[in-house]
């Protein structure tokens, strides 16, 4: 199936300034991500950035890049600018691949696109995996979600949902068997028409209280399709420790060749 990929890449980062340009075994991070995105089977792959230095690196490597506004409050707004400026039709599927995910499996990107294509009424597709650890379930930094019978999201929350009333009244040290506890994975596929409308949607109180952007779409009635994975994909890069972990992975891959 035909779909597009956009890789938003911001230079500013509170924890790792200049993150997309940090070296991973001889290549800037943004090019490692671009390599993965280009293996996913999309008909177009674009890097969207507000930084000329990132744009120059991508162009020199032969990638497609578009300079976007520096004022976007979210990655979704940046994707909306790309979809509008490139004139993509409303039914085009666009996958957002974060610029700090150098280990993302290419097949997972294509799977997200296919998931959205399979649900014509959905505006967005995303992913989750089962939670097994009570520490993660009760951790507000871990975003949880609950699903309906069609694998659409009913709600996203930093709170522990669903709440096993009787089981947790007795014991919170383990998750009860069969509890449909899922951790959200921040991979998104969108229809271009939704992206173009997104900036016109008023922020919802739930989005602001939970600090979860996807709740804006749900508050305005846009269905979100969710694919359930067996396990979490490799983590992205948020900290210096994450960067060293990813470098070791690529270093081992080079050594094994």
CATH of the domain at 192: 3.90.550.10
Output the CA torsion 144→148→151→157 (10° steps).
-20
User: What Cα–Cα distance (Å) separates residue 236 from each residue in 75, 98, 119, 186?
Assistant: 16, 9, 28, 10
pLDDT in tens, 180-215: 999 999 899 999 999 999 888 998 999 999 999 899
Percent of residues, the chain, with pLDDT higher than 70: 97
Tell me which residue range forms the domain holding 193: 3-256
Q: Look at the block and give the residue holding tokens 């578009």.
A: 66
Rounded CA separation 146/161 (Å): 7
pLDDT in tens, 92-127: 999 999 989 999 999 999 999 999 999 999 999 999
pLDDT in tens, 216-225: 999 999 999 9
Look up the pTM and report it: 0.90
Domain total in the chain: 1
Q: How many CA atoms lie within 13 A of 69 on its CB side?
A: 14
User: What Cα–Cα distance (Å) separates residue 129 from each residue in 142, 152, 181?
Assistant: 12, 14, 8
- pLDDT band at 14, cuts 50/70/90? low
* Mean pLDDT value across the chain: 92
């Amino acid at each position: 199936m035909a779909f597009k990929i956009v890789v938003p890449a911001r230079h500013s980062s509170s924890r790792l300034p200049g993150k997309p340009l940090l070296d991973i075994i001889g290549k800037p991070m943004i090019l490692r991500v671009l390599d993965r995105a280009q293996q996913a089977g999309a008909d177009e792959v674009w890097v969207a950035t507000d930084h000329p230095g990132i744009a120059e690196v991508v162009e020199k490597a032969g990638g497609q890049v578009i300079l976007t506004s520096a004022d976007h409050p979210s990655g979704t707004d940046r994707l909306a600018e790309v979809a509008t400026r490139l004139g993509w039709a409303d039914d085009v599927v666009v996958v957002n691949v974060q610029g700090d995910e150098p280990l993302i499996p290419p097949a997972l990107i294509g799977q997200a696109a296919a998931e959205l294509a399979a649900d014509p009424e959905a505006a967005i597709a995303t992913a989750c995996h089962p939670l097994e650890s009570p520490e993660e379930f009760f951790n507000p930094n871990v975003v949880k979600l609950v699903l309906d019978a069609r694998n659409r999201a009913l709600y996203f929350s930093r709170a522990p949902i669903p709440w096993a009333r009787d089981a947790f009244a007795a014991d919170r040290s383990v998750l009860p068997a069969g509890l449909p506890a899922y951790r959200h994975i921040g991979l998104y596929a969108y229809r271009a028409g939704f992206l173009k409308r997104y900036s016109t949607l008023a922020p919802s109180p739930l989005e602001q209280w939970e600090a979860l952007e996807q709740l804006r779409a749900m508050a305005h009635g846009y269905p979100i399709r969710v694919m359930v994975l067996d396990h979490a994909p490799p983590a992205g890069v948020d900290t210096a420790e994450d960067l060293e972990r990813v470098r070791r992975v690529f270093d081992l891959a080079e050594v094994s060749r």
